[in-house]
């Protein structure tokens, strides 16, 4: 396979070999989507070498496992609307602030921002896309919510959102990391278009909100497939070039998206093991079941089975939030404080979920050896796992993710 090397090109050196060439634009795409390991050696135009984790421009895209002096970013998303995602993120922000964390909620619904209505905030602030273009700090747009330690950055007007350009993504992610907060909660809209998925995968916690209904589980599985598809297609397409289109087209009743990906990567002679692992390793997917009126053990098992089988990812169940009639009354009064202070059942559940999310990454990659022989060899010197000699004494313990010590992540 011959690929024309552009004058402004990058190569990625790993333990397993070399990937590339990539243009500067393609390298930025890899960074935004979490496809780069901090320990990757980047070679620019065949002579300038640097470790990815040492490049300042890539720092916003390194997962914060507690070793970086900056805000942790948690993103909230769903495969469909109506699952209570915005209210859940608002209540979680309140509960975290009550626990002494400095929290900023950022409304990332670029088509229908409504977090300001939940907090009954009347003041209007400038469109943050315009603000970032002027190189102004995002913290100056953070408004008080009436709760100590909790502020809100309003979403842009629905007709003035500009989320899709790569430069906007880089500026926005960098701005989130720079906020004066312990935790930044980014409430995304219920969208599955590619330009929105990048905002989800770049976070330290990737929180998927769903309900136990079968249709909601199907939408959640489709959402996880879309993320995997986006990342793998980007990796493959940027390596192949425009003359070699790479597209995953998975129809119902066909083989899983993971199996199909392996077949296509082998067909175009791309490194299967490396690209599959890169496409799943940056995800810290945690699912919260909302509006639950009974035990959800069966739906949880079903969802985990679907996602592991089709995408190769083991998701973590962060907890359930029950259906609570008191929520409707609080929303009508636009008074979330009343709901929290009376410690309604839903608030008890939020406290439990917040504890699970604060524990850090618990997600492991699925055992891909069940799908293909080329993936039998695990990269122990790159990925964290219980096999490590330092496992007992390690303070990071993020199995299935790049080692926080050896990769400086």
SS3 assignment for 320-378: EEECCCHHHHHHHHCCHHHHHHCCCHHHHHHHHHHHHHHCCCCCCECCHHHCCHHHCCC
Whole-angstrom CA distances from 356 to 96, 305, 321 are 12, 21, 13
Residue 379 banded pLDDT, cuts 50, 70, 90: very low
At residue 364, does pLDDT exceed 60? no
- Token reading at 318: 């962060």
Q: What is the pLDDT of residues 206-247, one digit of tens each?
A: 999 999 988 888 889 889 988 999 999 999 999 998 778 888
Mean pLDDT highest for which of 89-103, 179-193, 252-266, 348-362? 89-103
Q: What percent of the chain has pLDDT over 90?
A: 31
pLDDT for 74 equals: 95
pLDDT for 363 equals: 44
At residue 376, does pLDDT exceed 60? no
Pairing of strands 150-153, 48-51: unpaired
First-to-last CA distance in the chain?
33
Q: What is the pLDDT of residues 259-279, one digit of tens each?
A: 888 889 988 989 988 898 888
Residue 197 banded pLDDT, cuts 50, 70, 90: confident
- Token reading at 10: 């990058």
The CATH number of domain 72-221+280-358, selected from 1.10.150.120, 3.30.365.10, 3.40.50.300, 3.40.640.10:
3.40.50.300
At residue 188, does pLDDT exceed 80? yes
Residue 398 banded pLDDT, cuts 50, 70, 90: low
Q: What sign does the CA torsion over 400, 273, 310, 371 have?
A: negative
pLDDT for 406 equals: 53
Residue linked to tokens 């089975």: 305
Mean pLDDT, the chain, rounded, equals 81
pLDDT for 235 equals: 95
Taking each continuous run of H as one helix and of E as one strand, the counts in the chain are 13, 12
Residue 368 banded pLDDT, cuts 50, 70, 90: low
Over range 340-348, report the average pLDDT: 80
Q: Where are the domains of the chain?
A: 1-59, 72-221+280-358, 378-409
* CB-count burial class (<10 Å; 0-12, 13-18, 19+) for 66: exposed
Q: What percent of the chain has pLDDT over 70?
A: 81
At residue 5, does pLDDT exceed 90? no
Ranges 251-255, 264-268, 349-353: which has the least confidence: 251-255
pLDDT for 7 equals: 52
Over range 41-59, report the average pLDDT: 87
Pairing of strands 41-44, 48-51: antiparallel
pLDDT for 378 equals: 34
Structural contact between residues 201 and 73, judged by C-beta atoms closer than 8 angstroms: no
Nearest in space to 198 (alpha carbons), one of 172, 219, 221, 161:
172
At residue 37, does pLDDT exceed 80? yes
For residues 222, 225, 230 and 233, what is the CA-based torsion angle, rounded to 10 degrees? -130
* CB-count burial class (<10 Å; 0-12, 13-18, 19+) for 253: exposed
Over range 181-207, report the average pLDDT: 87
pLDDT for 329 equals: 75
Whole-angstrom CA distances from 120 to 103, 107, 339 are 18, 14, 14
How far apart CA 306 and CA 292 sit, in angstroms, is 20
């Amino acid at each position: 396979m011959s690929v024309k090397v552009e004058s402004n090109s990058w190569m990625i050196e790993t333990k397993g070999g070399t990937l590339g060439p990539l243009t500067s634009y393609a390298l930025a795409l890899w960074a935004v989507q979490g496809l780069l390991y901090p320990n990757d050696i980047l070679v620019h135009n065949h002579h300038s070498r640097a470790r990815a984790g040492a490049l300042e421009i890539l720092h916003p895209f390194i997962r914060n496992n507690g070793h970086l002096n900056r805000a942790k970013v948690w993103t909230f998303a769903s495969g469909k609307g109506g699952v209570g995602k915005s209210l859940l993120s608002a209540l979680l922000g309140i509960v975290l602030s009550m626990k002494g964390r400095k929290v900023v909620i950022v409304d990332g619904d670029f088509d229908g921002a409504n977090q300001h209505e939940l907090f009954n905030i009347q003041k209007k602030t400038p469109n943050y896309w315009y603000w970032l273009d002027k190189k102004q700090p995002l913290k100056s747009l953070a408004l008080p919510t009436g709760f100590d330690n909790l502020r809100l950055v309003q979403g842009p007007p629905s007709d003035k959102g500009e989320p899709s350009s790569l430069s906007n993504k880089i500026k926005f992610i960098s701005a989130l990391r720079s906020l004066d907060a312990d935790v930044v909660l980014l409430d995304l809209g219920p969208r599955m278009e590619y330009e929105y998925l990048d905002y989800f995968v770049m976070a330290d916690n990737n929180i998927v909100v769903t309900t136990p209904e079968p249709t909601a589980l199907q939408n959640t599985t489709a959402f996880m497939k879309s993320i995997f598809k986006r990342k793998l297609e980007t990796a493959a397409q940027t390596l192949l070039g425009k003359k070699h289109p790479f597209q995953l087209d998975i129809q119902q009743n066909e083989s899983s998206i993971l199996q199909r990906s392996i077949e296509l990567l082998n067909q175009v002679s791309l490194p299967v093991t490396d690209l599959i692992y890169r496409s799943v390793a940056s995800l810290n997917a945690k699912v919260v079941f909302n509006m639950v009126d009974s035990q959800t053990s069966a739906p949880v098992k079903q969802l985990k089975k679907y996602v592991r089988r089709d995408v190769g990812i083991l998701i973590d169940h962060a907890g359930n939030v029950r259906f609570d009639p008191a929520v409707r009354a609080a929303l009508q009064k636009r008074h979330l404080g009343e709901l929290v202070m009376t410690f309604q059942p839903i608030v008890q559940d939020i406290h439990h979920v917040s504890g699970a999310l604060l524990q850090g990454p618990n997600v492991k990659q699925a055992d891909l050896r069940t799908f293909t022989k080329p993936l039998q060899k695990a990269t122990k010197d790159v990925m964290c796992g219980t096999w490590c000699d330092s496992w007992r004494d390690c303070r990071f313990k993020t199995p299935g993710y790049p080692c926080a010590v050896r990769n400086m992540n």
